[in-house]
A and B are shown apart, each in its own frame.
Chain A
Amino acid sequence: MTPQSSFMVLAAIDSEREADLRQLLASMNDAPGRVNANNALIPFGQCDTLHFARLVILNDKTVNDVREYGLPTRTYPMYLAFLGDVDGDADAFLEELARLAPKGLSSLFSCCEGFTPETDLLAWMKKHSARPIASYVNWRGRTVRRIREEAILREALEDHIQSHSAALSNLPPREIRATLQRFVNAEKSAGRLTLTTENSTPIGWWIRNLLHLIGLPFLFLLASPLLIVMAPFIIIRLRWLEKTDPEVCPRVDQAYSDEMAKLEDRDVTNQFTAMGSLKPGIVRLWTVIFVLLVVDYGARHIFTRGRLARVRTIHFARWVFLDARKRMVFFSNYDGTVESYMDDFINKAGFGLNAVFSNGIGYPRTNWLVRDGCADEQKYKNYLRRHTLPTQVWYKAYPGLTATDLERNARIRRDLESLSLSEQETREWVALL
């Protein structure tokens, strides 16, 4: 199994070069929201292990909301974030990228502070890496290569079934499967289909994952006496905070919303970038860190097979702290429109959403951290849309395919290759075609 990992290069933009940077970013697209996979700066399409990538200017329009909490407004640099989700080791991917697109990357990063023509590109990217506090992968171990091979397999099966429907339609399920197995084997022998077997799991990753699996609960257990003593104080404080924290959920400026809408719904999958300031105080900070550690643990060890709790539409997601944990940015890649994405969250995973995002300034009022909050639907949607940023460049390695498509294709392949299938499983397999 090849585990997935993520990279993110985060650098302050040289304010004098912002316009140049925007121009460069626009040059990577065929049209707004439509990246050219073979663009001259970073030809994403040539990276065989890259699932998703984006370049986004982190410019938080809600930065002054902190005033509602009696905090002084701060000026933060405008950042360029370049991030992606890859098969295998992220550092190895950055090395590949530095070899593949040194000129393009350098011209982009030269718009950032501290990057000169003499700068060692790879070292600079590594130095400017930002690690997520939590991240989610839809299906651990499913590589770009596998996704593409399985998509081709499904298409080949579809074409074959369509042109042999008369002969196949009267066969019992087992014989349909046997016939299609013979067809696939013949196609493989002829070199028209490839179904690569899984690589073995890197031993280092396996050990780290096991340590994480055991280590985090162990640390939690160790700290539990202290946590039990502190819990009442934290709970009382949190209850007080959530009853008094001001909500900041005005309607979104229509022009701003339209600017984002222009980039959306160009594919069955969409990107999402949202950022905001965290609420003041150590209790809020500890709460969000704790909740995100739980999310990360769940995503690493439990929700590794197509579902984040009940949500089935997210390909990759991550949370990253910025500016000494004063601010947070959330990135995701999801299927459907932003409206259906928000509905999914409110109705299916509202508790988790509240537990994380209610620690952000202005979030609709929660009750015991997990209740209410986003259930105030319109306030929540205003809040979220207002915190959303336009993503200037966004790449997806398998356009037209949703997470459900990927799951279907994977099931088709798995049960095609399976050595023993029950009658019922065979019927279900035939029904997937």
Chain B
Amino acid sequence: MLRPILVLFQTSRQDISRAGIARGSVGWENFTRLFDDPDFAPVLARTAVWVVAVVGVTLVISLPLAQFLDKPFPGRRVVRYALLVPWAASVLMTALSFRWMLQPFFGLVNQVLIDLGFIDERIDFLAKPSTAMPAMMAVAIFVSVPFTTYVVLAGLQTVPGSLYEAAAIDGATPWKRYTKITLPMLRPAILVALLINIINVFNSFPIIWAMTEGGPQFTTSTSTVFMYKLAVQNRQLDTSAAMAVVNLGLIFVVVLIYLRASRWQEAATPA
């Protein structure tokens, strides 16, 4: 497990030929080349937007959805099973289904929009970064919501019912009960969901690969796709390794923030 990480760090400071032969150490040259790459800054900015938007919207959808699925109603089992499908199914295959739906001439999204009278001309959503990015974010949210909802549902099981009864006696409104009891009790579940979603969404590869391959050029690449394209398509293993090291650093920062947040929470909860 640790060996690939070490090799990665080593590679990030080496000069590697296109055939994969190491030609000696070059210090930080790979990093300077990476930072000077005109694509680097836009890729990082795009990654930040991608992660924040996808993780944020996922949580905003999952919280009420979990609340809904926590209440008993006929057919709840079926809804829960339906929610499992995007979680269990290969993300790549789900993304391919969306790619076909978004196809300008044969896809259903354009047809629905035309039939409803929203647009007159067919749009090639995946051809331009300005429409491709939101479309891919929607797919990323779609596949992240089921897992997140299940984590929040699991969290809801840990809230003791007696708390609600006490609040009801005190005459608290449903909204007050949610913000004052449910949300604070859900804090650990939400933190876990946020952490895992950030990591997964940051590393997310199949969605972008299946829908635009990060192109044209690098205009729809996040830093993970950028790193991958450098290695696999451009055969620049050395620069790609430098990007990978930057990526690992970013993930590490997120994990540190999580550990701090959860430690703080332990301290804040009276024993």
Tell whether A and B belong to one assembly.
Answer: no
- Chain B interfacial positions (CB closer than 8 Å to A): none
